[in-house]
Amino acid sequence: MPLPPHNLYPAFNILRLSHVELGVTDLAKSRAFYVDLLGLQVTDETDEVIYLRAMEERGHHSVVLRRKPEAKVDVLGFKVFAEEDLDRAVTFFRERDIESRWIERPYQGRTLLARDLHGAPLELYHKMDRLPHIHQKYALYRGVRPLRIDHFNCFSPNVDESARFYAEMGFRVTEYTEDEDTKRLWAAWLHRKGGVHDIAFTNGRGPRLHHVAFWVPTPLNVIDLLDLMATTGHIGAIERGPGRHGISNAFFLYIRDPDGHRIEIYCSDYQTVDPDHEPIKWDLKDPQRQTLWGAPAPRSWFEEGSVFAGAEVRDSDLKAQPIVAP
């Protein structure tokens, strides 16, 4: 199937991904993982919720950890360019028979809650409380020293449909995996902010969140984190890597938080700002697609993910299989 065309003038203007809200079953364990191990900074906390940001971020939060009886994902957040874009987004969702509603969120201005084509919850806002710069407060740096949230990756039951829907919102495809037999998309990477992706979709039972990624300065930060995890009782949380992706060229590590939410530590992708940037195609059976060095991913990477609150999960339409590690 053809890729969705680049839509340079969408109905409303999303700037970038912004934040994720994760349901966690043990707030103390999650705090130790995200704050003490990864090195995210606490911006507010109560007995029920913790707000976090990374070192370069001026917005109040990019991660919200909320105590819940089940470890589900409550929302994927995106920042829009102007207040008027929120009203235009209401029209966009209404025209597609997708319900949206205004909600109250701490530290944010007007906030619109909707869902994407397959039911993943989306939160759009323009204004978030701004906090002082801390990226040069080196005494605060610890763990892997994350600079900013970089992207979401989601399982989709139909990647062609997901890519078309997000393209209508102005997301542009940078790289994609095509199944040679059916000519359908097995995966797609789409961006707004000028990196390889703000959001990606992988074929599988969905909608589910595959992972949230954080940008770090260098691959050495990843090595430091591995050394820390291996000597502090967290070796079992290391799922995949370190390695270099073929897709995106990024250096990566995948780890799991105490509830099983998957986190990627990520650096070294490339710029995609030009509106005529041409997407890069990969074949599903190319061993360098997953890892430039040829190592396949474990089965858990293709099968396990975090459920979105209120979304109905269904099997994928495309049954093509990637290369899986034995």
**How far from 262 is each of 152, 154, 177, 256, 326, CA to CA, in Å?**
10, 11, 21, 5, 21
If one counts the domains in the chain, the total is 2
Same domain, 113 and 170: no
Residue-wise pLDDT for 200-212, tens only, equals: 999 999 999 999 9
**Tokens in use for 307?**
């459920």
**Tokens in use for 13?**
């203007």
195 occurs within a structural domain: yes
Taking 80 as the threshold, does the pLDDT of residue 1 lie above it?
A: no
Q: What is the pLDDT of residue 323?
A: 84
For residue 241, what is the enclosing H or E element? strand 238-244
Average confidence (pLDDT) over 153-166: 98
pLDDT band at 108 (very low <50, low <70, confident <90, very high): very high
Average confidence (pLDDT) over 153-158: 98
Final residue belonging to a domain, choices 129, 163, 183? 129
324 occurs within a structural domain: no
Alpha carbon distance 118, 271 (integer Å): 29
For residue 311, what is the enclosing H or E element? none
Q: What is the mean pLDDT of the chain?
A: 96
Q: What is the pLDDT of residue 157?
A: 98
Residue-wise pLDDT for 244-286, tens only, equals: 999 999 999 999 999 999 999 999 999 999 999 999 999 999 9
Taking 90 as the threshold, does the pLDDT of residue 325 lie above it?
A: no
203 occurs within a structural domain: yes
**How far from 307 is each of 72, 106, 243, 299, CA to CA, in Å?**
5, 24, 27, 18
Residue-wise pLDDT for 59-81, tens only, equals: 999 999 999 999 999 999 999 99
Contact 79/16 with Cβ under 8 angstroms?
Answer: yes
320 occurs within a structural domain: no
Same domain, 69 and 169: no
Q: Cα angle at 23 between 268 and 310, to 5 degrees?
A: 105
Contact 237/30 with Cβ under 8 angstroms?
Answer: no
Q: Is the pTM of this model over 0.95?
A: yes
Q: What is the pLDDT of residue 207?
A: 98
> Which CATH number goes with the domain that contains 30?
3.10.180.10
Average confidence (pLDDT) over 128-147: 96
118 occurs within a structural domain: yes
115 occurs within a structural domain: yes
Same domain, 74 and 175: no
Same domain, 235 and 274: yes
Same domain, 108 and 37: yes
Same domain, 299 and 173: yes
Same domain, 153 and 122: no
Same domain, 170 and 282: yes
**Could you tell me the residue range of the domain that residue 157 belongs to?**
146-307
Same domain, 116 and 181: no
27 occurs within a structural domain: yes
Final residue belonging to a domain, choices 129, 158, 177? 129
Same domain, 77 and 187: no
136 occurs within a structural domain: no
Same domain, 91 and 182: no
Taking 90 as the threshold, does the pLDDT of residue 130 lie above it?
A: yes
Same domain, 64 and 171: no
DSSP one-letter code for 140? G
